[in-house]
Structure 1
Amino acid sequence: MPEKIPERAAAQLAFPGEVPLPERVAACREFLRREQEGLRARHAAGGGGRQICRERSWMMDALLGHLFDYALRTYAGPGAGSALPVTLVALGGYGREELSPWSDVDVMFLCSQKIARNAAQPLREHLSQQILYPLWDCGLKVGHSTRTIDEAVAEARRNMQTKTALLEARRVAGSQQLFDTFTQAYRAYYTGENPKDYIAARLDDQSGRRAKFADTVFNQEPDLKNGVGGLRDYQSTVWMARVRLDLTRIEELSDLNYVRAEEVAEFQRAHDFLLRVRNELHFISPRATDVMSLDQQPRIAEELGFAGADPLAQVEAFMQEYYRAAQTVFRVSKLVEDRLALSIGRGSGERRSFKDTLLAARFQRARRLDGFIVRGRELAADQPTVFKEDPVRLIRVFRHSQTLNAPPDLHLRELIRESLPLLTREVAASADATVSFRAILGEVGAVEPVLTRMHELGVLGRLVPEFDGLTCLVQHEYYHRYTADVHTLSAIRELDRIFTAAEPITLKYREALHETKDPALLYLTLLLHDIGKAEGIRGHAESGVRLALPILERFGVEPNDRELVAFIIKNHLVMARFWQKRDVDDPGTAAAFAELVGDAERLRHLYVHTFCDARGTAADLWNSYKDTLHTALFRATLDRLKLGQEADAAPLRKKTMTQQQLITQTIPGISADEITAHFGLLPDRYFVHTDAAEIALHLQMVNRLLRSITTADSVGSLRPVIEWKDDLNRSLTVVNVVTWDRAGLFYKLAGAFSVAGLNILGAKVISRTDHIAIDTFYVVEPGLGPVQSAPAQDKFARIIEEALMTNRDLLPDIVAQARKIAATRYLQVSSGEALQSSFPPTVDVYHELSMQRTIVEVQARDQIGLLYRLAKAISDHGFDITFARIGTERGVAIDTFYIEGANHEPVVGPERLEALRSSLNEVIAAPVTTSA
């Protein structure tokens, strides 16, 4: 039992006389082991988060108390140690008794200034040796300082972090009198200062920290401590209330009308739940950590007893509870912060209630509109009955806020929450409500902040009940970073930026939107595009159409526009899949996509929607390379829709014009005959998106390869010609390789890039009929973009020469490279802990009739050498790769290959395709690190 902790500590840690350090460390370890086991058992039995943290703090009190007593006794002699004016003080989380199972322990040795200077240093060294060394040997992480009272106050003046830590100082052992003197001195210090600077600094810290998490609690992998609505939000509220209002208990906030008593109770319950979750996270890790990864969430849900038909349902139930708790912490902490900010607005240091602050604000100059008052930069209610008089004002208030650029003030926000029952289905479906909401969506460039505020206050869910199903909905997909509701609002924010931002990347999307009949219609499309996820992720596009059509009709959207919105919702994933998995340089790709979309209006909406959807999914999901592919498909398809069958003749005209251009201009060392031969030896698809400069480079590389036959021995003539060129616009490096075509060329090139530590984003593979291969790879240095490392380039060249000239197997080198990579760089998952639905490994091999292509699509966990082994398996089955698109999203490889037979014929035999599929499934099932 926890109340027996002091007794157990006395039995194990009361060292008689002087005891060697190893014996004391062994006793301390055994004490901690037994107490930690008991702590975990009480946690598993349902122990509250706060209670378990208190008990671990009591464990540390008992341990540190005995070590402290031993240290003083061995320093001053039996009976004299208790007279030394020294106090062991707990700080921070330890001071407030909130130690999770593996949390750091912060302490201060408080020394009286009466201790002689010549005695202070030996005493400090003795305390460190006898207390800190045993703790470190036990594996504890201990922060420590030694200060006098004056030194502590002086450090608090210099450092806000120290000032905050000392607010929670608690005596563990030693002189009570010295600690009481410190407490009085420190309270006199922080109550004597004007609290404005501290509150302002803390508010800035809160704002900056939350911005790192996109100002939302709905992150897919939440940070329990520093995330929005996390433990730091709760703690900061306590700290600011202590400094500004001199409160010792959070409950006193309701006495001063800063929050209601029931809100304080909700605040505390949510805080307890967060602590319980963090305790579980520490136990299963087992280490100090605050980030709940996707892979840990199923086990946490199971251990905390959340019910569900399967692990996925358990996780959803658990995460929804977490998000509710985090929302509560964020809402209440933000409410207190806003009111504290108002309370220091006049710069005075007197203690004032929020009611006093609110009354003072009423004397500001005001302007009245539709039952509201515009005062300064905020919107307020003229009377508490404003919504009872006209419930549609619950919608109009946000339209007024939008047009006046005046957010609702604190009182109005609370009044909106309290008035939600007035927003019935009948009111929400009324013509006035519909007109107001459509007007909000029509204010292009300024929509997301208003919708977010409507969502936070509960109005959006009342107006569009179908959207409420997305609230707190966890998306178990590897590329999503936010819950479904926050993702939707983030996508709408991206659309706002297209209309308002000066970023070069947004200009072409703005132009595309201005070519549409109603650019604002896309706001409604984005709002509804994922609404089907409320019924399940799988098939959500189709179910989304079914749910969206009645909403569109309810909002009075015209039939033609309803059809357009429904089309985009149904196909909102298709455009990205096209350019991720197909060759955008192939005219057949644009032809197939043009047939799907049907007209330019749909294409433009889908083009912009896909961009906003991706950028609203995760900040790092979109890059210049993807943007280039996306825009290339858009423009090629737009040309196809405009020109129709005439588009088929365009590539031939371009090829002829480019050939004449290159013959007319002089390419050093290249004759007109060589140019003519080059154009006759390559398939037409090579010339579609290969510009004159790139063709000229290839001609020179081919020339160098052919000349090597006469200047090198038979082995040397196999050496490839390699050229590196940085593409800063796409933040990658283009690597051109020209060599003699041979079986397995692609997988050897892929393997050489892996051994050199470079990532492949994509590849185009082409061969002349005289068996000269021209392969183009788009590569990056991991995390750095274009390849700036000369050693990496040299290593690639050396490795590929050896592989081609000696037929060397690169797999051992790939395994060696994999072992050098830090484990955190690739997704490591313990068996049974991962949400397999998030990362379904799949292999699909099929013949695309419309394009006359045989296509291989692979989705698997990424790892060093995966591409090498996939390409080798394809080669071993007698197929050549003519195109590859290589993608990696948050640890998952998404690779697509076009393949053909050795004689360039399409592969259609089902037996051969099934055999290849089986081999590729074996590849993705066996990690490279276990295959050597």
Structure 2
Amino acid sequence: MALNCSTRVLPCPLHVSASKPTRSRSSPPEQMTSRIQKHAARRLSFDLDASKAKRLAACKKFMRLESEMIIMRQRAGDSGVKVARMRSKLIDALLTKLFAHCLNIYRRSHEDSEITVALIALGGYGRTELAPFSDIDLMFLYPTGIKAKKIRDLQQTMTDEILYILWDLGLKVGHSSRSVEEAFAEARSDIQTMTALLEARFITGDEHLYRSFSEAYRTFYLKDNPKAYIAKRLDDQATRRGRFGNTVFLQEPDIKRGVGGLRDFQNALWMAQVRLGTKTAEDLNANNYLHKNELRDFVRGYDYLLRVRNTLHYLSKRPNDLLNLEMQPKVAYQMGFKHRELLTRVEQFMRIYYGHAQNIYRISKLLEHRLALTALDAEDRKLSFREVIRARRMDRTKMVDGFVLRGRELAYENKKVFEEDPRRLIRIFRHAQVLNASLDFDLESLIRESLPSISQEVISSSEASRAFRSILQTPGQVYPVLFQMHELGVLGRIIPEWERLTCLVQHEFYHRYTADIHTLNTIRELDLVFTSSEPIFQKYREALRHTEHPDLLYLVLLLHDIGKADGIKNHAEAGARIAEQILARLKIDPSIREIVQYVIKNHLLMARFWQKYDLDDPETAKFFARQTENSTHLRFLYVHTFCDARGTASSLWNSYKDTLHTTLFRTTLEALTLGPEVDRRHAEQREMIRKELIARQIPDISEEEIAAHFQLLPERYFIHTDIDEIALHLKMVNDLLKTINQTDTLGALQPVIDWKDDLDRGFTVVNVVTWDRAGLFYKLAGALSVSGLSILSAKVVSRSDHIAIDTFYVVEPGRGLVQSRAAMEKFQRTVDQALVDHIDLYPEIQAQSKKLDSSLLRSTDNPLQSTFPATVDVYHELSLKRTIIEVQSPDHLGLLYLLANSIFDHGFDISFARINTERGVAIDTFYIENVDRNESGIDTAKLMELRESLAQIITREPQETVHF
């Protein structure tokens, strides 16, 4: 299936130098092969007595010189196929000379031996498509019937004189030794072996043996149940594509195995070879299985991907098929994209790449369909796929608006169906949705050919707008239809602004998909909200149920990133402006447009809010309520944020974030619903908790202690601290006071620590109750770091009698819940060292850091860091009456300790911390206040000094200013 990006992008490789650099004159492949062979004859002719060291040195020199020549051809712009073929012919020439020398050595000691052997290339090497650092797959083929002991000496000589040389040259070689009979037996039992042998190519040795094997193998694969082979290949395709999300548009595509990758092309040819006896894509055209334009796009796409792969191998200096963000700028430059702006260079290159990959995917799917139809024919007669289609069309069951519904598949009645009424190009998708039907391949092809018929007049018609709106107003069934509309290019015709998102790489470190596919993924998540029985979706479905138009969120999600075509920065505001024109064209009611535009403009607001603000503070909910304005906006933002995050990357959403998100939603909804009454409700709730705690009669806890606890703590403590946690804190305070009364001065400094696993949210809660003192937070954070634990978030609260209750939400890296008893014990010891013995923890943090691979610690999954710089922002949030620090930086061991220590050194305490790490990037927020509570207000000069200090910690050049 193909996206419209291919029709817009693909002309580039044909005439734009960025995608196809100007080529210098190069020799035809035959001349290059002949030259390599001549060089091999001159440089690799050995006497029988030549030492292995001498032969290895000659081989190294030959490989170096010839490889340099191939690299020159690659840089000059030679095609991917040509460079891969030269690499294959280079290995052919090397193996031919090594093989000849090997046989001469063997025959010197086995003059009477009549054993023959053929050296055969398999896999990519067999196709003469050997990438620079790919494996070299070899098979030593022997005649059937020769006893193993008779060929053992020959096999050992082959290993010593050929394989060891190849390995010493640094080549990665896969090899097998088979008799003809063994080759057939393995092909029958293993589909991978059968496929590998389809590409068997003679290199040197007994050519007659190879020819007889090749002819027999052709007879075998054409007659030995080709339908079963095709079925297995189709299953393999589906499984492989599923691993890559069934989309070409991953931000970091796998050139070989990904959707639209080289394997899609190869799989199609393998199926065709087994079914039809063809070898090349040109053969499929000759047999009417590929149209001329399909052949052109198929072959050009494959060649382009081969060239990208060759470039990636050369740059990586290893067998690398993952075109990740780090390598994309380098590959783009080598492919001829020279724009001075790195991101522009990458975007231009990746659009071309996606266009070619999507053509491979589309045409391979077409071939799979056509070959699968042929494979269903009767055993005694071979029909073409067109004959099968024609026969199936005779079995009509129902007519719908000029289309034929047969079972669950829609086909066209005649090829002029869209000429007669172009609006059918939109209505067909509504029919498919209502009938729960798919479109047959011929209908899909006709839709692509008919795209120019979607004129401005069609787009502006009430009927087209109504059909499109109806698609978006069918909860639970929207994603499949929109995805197919996008694949076939219709969505970009209805909404021209959408086209600019197609194939657009998003240079944000947490995105896995291109902008268009990300958007569609968010719509898939909304389908699940409406239909899934999984518990996580139910509360979001309930939130939407209380809005007047729950399905309106489909339109919001479709347009929420429409502004990204002009850049990531301020894309939400730009998207709201662009959406205004689109909504008018779609004839959306003005009262509804306001909701859509509000959510688009503010779609990042809610996640940013709970990532940095203290949700226990009652002022936070009031602040957010003022920004959302009403419960409708809030409900749409709530569900939108959930779908947006899950549509970005599967790992981006977890139970911890879901808890924060839902807490903000519920407290804000309460603030919007109750208004001024919310404070009274909180007071009533607090009093109920106090009475219940008294009624519990907690051992050793008097009613007076409970009363004191409630009097000595701020109101925000009681908002989201549940009664069991309050009871725990009461016991811990009681234990601390007992210790203070029963021990000496040093013993009184030891904290009381409690560990509790939160199974539902996948983290461990560490409560620390101790005598409050300056720098407590950074010392506790340092102790957790030394113990090898990661902090997700922290709550810091102090009673007015100077007892601190600090709560840390932590995980054991790679495992979630803290299961290591050693880590817990180390934390206890380290806390005692820091709080009682006043030992500086930083030297130990540094020592641990040095034990780790510094490149791993400092690397992030955001190689294009220009879009995510290290920053420090310090500001007063007047609505909350808080001074806030926001830090984003590449994460590393001890970062939090350094930040918190600097905050303390500048005369501030941390009253709240939200710690977040995404793919190697730390995003931390701190509320700070004066260590000296007698000081009124925070000194601006001190804040400036603090910001400079924090900036030096994360990056040596300060990036932001202080805002007041």
Structure 1 length as normaliser, TM-score? Answer: 0.96
Structure 1 position 258 matched with structure 2 position 289: yes
The match for 2:313 among 267, 282, 301 is: 282
Measured after TM superposition, the shift of residue 512 of structure 1 is: 0.7
Q: Distance in 2 between matches of 1:234 and 1:618?
A: 28
Deviation at 1:796, TM superposition (A): 2.4
Aligned to 1:902: 931
Aligned to 2:897: 868
Q: 1:556 aligns with which of 567, 587, 591?
A: 587
CA contact (8 A) 1:764 1:884 kept: yes
Q: What displacement does 1:827 show?
A: 5.8
CA distance in 2, matches of 1:13, 1:608: 69
Corresponding position: 1:623 with 2:689? no
1:829 CA displacement: 6.7
Residue equivalent to 2:912? 883
In the aligned structure 1, how far is the partner of 2:514 from the partner of 2:522?
A: 12
| 1:427 partnered with 2:427 | no
Alignment counterpart, residue 949 of structure 2, candidates 919, 922, 926: 919
Residues 1:228 and 2:259 are matched in the alignment: yes
d(CA) in 2 for partners of 1:25, 1:742: 71
SS of 1:374's equivalent? strand
Matching of residues 221-370 of structure 1 within 5 Å:
221-346=252-377, 348=379, 351-370=382-401
What is aligned with 1:571? 602
Match of 2:438, SS state, is coil
Give the C-alpha shift of residue 824 in structure 1.
Answer: 7.9
TM-score normalized by the length of structure 2: 0.93
Distance 1:729 1:319 in 2: 41
Counterparts of 1:184 and 1:731 in 2: how far apart (Å)? 61
Q: Which moved more, 1:711-720 or 1:852-861?
A: 711-720
Q: Which residue of 1 aligns with 2:795?
A: 764
**Equivalents in 2 of 1:654, 1:850: separation in Å?**
24
Alignment check: 8 A CA contact 1:257 1:354 kept: no
Change (3 A) 1:668 1:409: same
1:67 corresponds, among 75, 84, 98, to: 98
Distance 1:741 1:71 in 2: 81
Query: Structure 2 counterpart of 1:383, which letter?
Result: N
* Distance in 1 of aligned mates of 2:309 and 2:561: 31
Contact 1:490/1:616 (<8 A) preserved: yes
Q: Contact 1:763/1:777 (CA < 8 Å) preserved in 2?
A: yes
1:388-411 deviation digits (Å, cap 9, x = unpaired): 111100000000000111111011
Instruction: Look up the match of 2:192.
Output: 161
Which position in structure 2 is the counterpart of 1:633?
664
Say whether the 8 Å CA contact 1:195–1:349 is kept in structure 2: no
2:298–2:363 Cα contact (<8 Å) kept: yes
Return the offset for 1:347.
6.6
Aligned to 1:439: 470
How has the CA–CA distance of structure 1 residues 32 and 368 changed in structure 2, closer, same or farther, with 3 Å as cutoff?
same
Q: Matches of residues 675-694 of structure 1 in structure 2 within 5 Å?
A: 675-694=706-725
- 1:842-861 pair list within 5 angstroms: 842-861=871-890
Partner of 1:930: none
Q: Which amino acid is the alignment partner of residue 876 of structure 1?
A: D
Matches for 1:647-726 after TM superposition, within 5 Å:
647-726=678-757
Q: CA RMSD in A?
A: 2.0
**2:643 pairs with 1:612:** yes
Tell me the CA shift for residue 298 of structure 1.
Answer: 1.2
Q: Per-residue deviation at 1:80?
A: 5.9
Provide closer, same or farther for how the CA distance between residues 179 and 607 of structure 1 changes in structure 2, counting only shifts above 3 A. same
* Cα separation, 1, equivalents of 2:551 and 2:304: 42
Q: What is the one-letter code of the residue matched to 1:279?
A: N
| Partner Cα separation in structure 2 for residue 867 and residue 257 of structure 1 | 65
Q: Deviations over 1:438-462 (max 9, x none)?
A: 1111111000100010010011111
Quote how far apart the aligned CAs of 1:337 are. 1.0
Structure-2 change in CA distance of 1:379 and 1:822 (3 Å): farther
Equivalent position SS for 1:77: helix
Deviates more, 1:152-161 or 1:717-726: 717-726
> What CA distance in whole angstroms lies between the structure 1 residues aligned with 2:786 and 2:771?
22
Whichever residue aligns with residue 237 of structure 2, its letter is Q
Q: For structure 1, which segment, 622-631 or 729-738, has the greater mean C-alpha deviation from structure 2 after superposition?
A: 729-738
Which 10-residue stretch deviates more, 704-713 or 295-304?
704-713
Deviation, 1:893, is: 1.3
* Paired residue type of 1:244: R
**Residues 812 and 704 of structure 1, relative CA distance in 2, 3 Å threshold:** same
Structure 2 segments unaligned to the other structure (5+ residues): 1-26, 958-964
Q: Which amino acid aligns with 2:139?
A: M
The range that moved more, 861-870 or 474-483, is: 861-870
Partner SS state of residue 896, structure 1: strand
Check 1:137–1:742 CA distance in 2 against 1; reply closer, same or farther (3 A cut): farther
Structure 2 counterparts to residues 444-843 of structure 1, below 5 A: 444-821=475-852, 826=857, 828=859, 834-843=863-872
Secondary structure of 2:671's aligned partner: helix
**Matching of residues 413-424 of structure 1 within 5 Å:** 413-424=444-455
The alpha carbon displacement at 1:197 in A equals 1.1
Residue identity matched to 1:206: Q
CA distance in 1: counterparts of 2:820 and 2:380, whole angstroms? 58
Secondary structure at the aligned position of 1:432 is classed as: helix
For 2:16, the equivalent position in structure 1 comes to: none
Describe the shift of the 1:29–1:868 C-alpha distance in structure 2 as closer, same or farther (beyond 3 A).
Answer: farther
Separation in 1 of the partners of 2:189 and 2:847?
50
Q: Report the 3-state secondary structure (helix = DSSP H, G, I; strand = E; otherwise coil) of the residue aligned with 1:868.
A: helix
Cα contact 1:223–1:230 (8 A) shared by 2: yes
- Between 1:740-749 and 1:573-582, the stretch displaced more is 740-749
- Please state how far the C-alpha of 1:577 moved relative to its aligned partner: 0.3
CA distance in 2, matches of 1:643, 1:238: 67
The offset of 1:343, in angstroms, is 2.1
Number of aligned residues: 925
Counterpart Cα distance in 2 of 1:361 and 1:40: 52
Residue number in structure 1 paired with 2:9: none
Tell me the amino acid that sits aligned with residue 414 of structure 1: S
Instruction: Provide the rounded CA distance (Å) in 2 between the counterparts of 1:217 and 1:292.
Output: 12
Aligned partner of 2:429 among 367, 384, 398: 398
SS in structure 2 of the partner of residue 837 of structure 1: helix
Distance between the aligned counterparts of 1:906 and 1:565, measured in 2? 44
> Aligned letter for 1:559?
P
- Asked if the contact 2:860/2:890 (under 8 Å) is kept, the reply is no
Call closer, same or farther: CA 1:140–1:707 in 2, change over 3 Å.
farther
SS in 1 for 2:745: coil
For residue 107 of structure 1, give the secondary structure of its aligned residue in structure 2.
strand
Partner of 2:24: none
The residue matched to 2:674 in structure 1 has which SS?
helix
Between the aligned residues of both structures, percent identity stands at 55
SS at match of 2:716: helix
> Partners of 2:340 and 2:56 in 1: how far apart?
47
SS in 1 for 2:158: helix
1:218–1:472 Cα contact (<8 Å) kept: yes
Contact 1:82 1:174 in 2 (8 A): no
What secondary structure is seen at the aligned counterpart in 1 of 2:91? helix
Asked whether the equivalents of residues 213 and 228 of structure 1 are also in contact (C-alpha less than 8 Å), the reply is yes
Determine the structure 2 residue equivalent to 1:34. 65
Q: In the superposition, relative to structure 1, how do residues 711 and 536 fare at CA in structure 2: closer, same or farther (>3 Å)?
A: same
* CA shift for structure 1 position 853: 0.6
Question: How far 1:353 sits from its partner (Å)?
Answer: 1.9
Output the CA distance in 1 between the equivalents of 2:294 and 2:708: 80
CA contact (8 A) 1:365 1:376 kept: no
Q: Cα offset for 1:82? A: 11
Residues 244, 351 of structure 1: 8 Å contact kept: no
Report the Cα distance in structure 1 between the residues aligned to 2:912 and 2:663, rounded to whole angstroms: 16
Q: CA deviation at 1:269?
A: 0.7
Partner of 2:124: 93
